[in-house]
Amino acid sequence: MNQTNCTDPKAEFQYYLFPSIYILALVIGLPGNLVALYVFTVRISPRTAFSVYISNLAAADVIILCMLPLRIHYHLHENVWEFGDFACQLTGTLYYANIYMSICFMTCICVDRYMATVHPHTYLRMRNPKWSLLVSVALWCFVLQLLLCYYKPQMFVYLPDPFQSSLLVSFRKTSNSCNAFLHLFIIPSTSLKRLLNIEGKCKFIQPDS
């Protein structure tokens, strides 16, 4: 892959701002998430649905934080990517995976706390951590599969001036990005709202004894 240098003077601030933010996130976020991952995975026993979801949330953050050194190098070297196509694709995939997985697992945590607070009797019958593990595995497979379908690496030519051109590798959303938004946000949120409405009606008709 050819190296790329975006020489637009209006964007020179990113060579210093982005690395500073990434370094701060790496220094604070990586140790914190590793500690959380260790505590909720190893130290807490017996495992609960809450600990399973928190562990997966921390794991998603650790994965993207481990990729930040590549982004830091990229911006410090004036947007020159030197790690090959595979690393470019992997970094882009994990970036979007972290966004959607964080949303999914935070939603799972909210639903888990909602059930424990509003429907405690029902929650006691369905709090087996095996179900949480199955939900977590299904979410990882679902999100990664959709990302592989809807986010593809694309090559395009960047022309800083009429006499110079350079090849820029960018992990960009394709024309199917609307479909990804539909499957990863609209459908899950609508389905969750529908399930909660149905459950609320059942709760009203047959209250827990």
40, part of any domain:
yes
Residue 153 lies in a domain: yes
186 in any annotated domain: no
Per-residue pLDDT for 80 more than 90? no
CATH value at residue 23: 1.20.1070.10
Q: Output 204 or 135, whichever has higher pLDDT.
A: 135
User: Is the pLDDT confidence value at 126 over 90?
Assistant: no
> Is the pLDDT confidence value at 72 over 60?
yes
Is 180 part of a structural domain of the chain? no
pLDDT digits 0-9 by tens, 132-183: 888 889 888 888 887 777 655 443 334 444 433 333 334 444 445 565 566 6
| Within-domain flag for 89 | yes
- CB distance 26 to 190 below 8 Å: no
Question: Does position 34 have pLDDT exceeding 80, yes or no?
Answer: yes
**Boundaries of domain holding 145:** 9-174
In this structure, is residue 60 part of a structural domain? Answer: yes
Q: Give per-residue pLDDT as tens, 44-66.
A: 878 888 889 999 999 999 999 99
Range in 89-98, 157-166, 192-201 the model is least confident about: 157-166
Q: Does some domain include residue 118?
A: yes
Q: How many domains does one find in the chain?
A: 1
Q: What is the pLDDT of residue 178?
A: 60
pLDDT at 163: 38
Mean pLDDT value across the chain: 74
Task: Specify if 179 maps to a domain.
Answer: no
Residue 146: the pLDDT is: 76
- The residue-averaged pLDDT of 113-129 equals 79
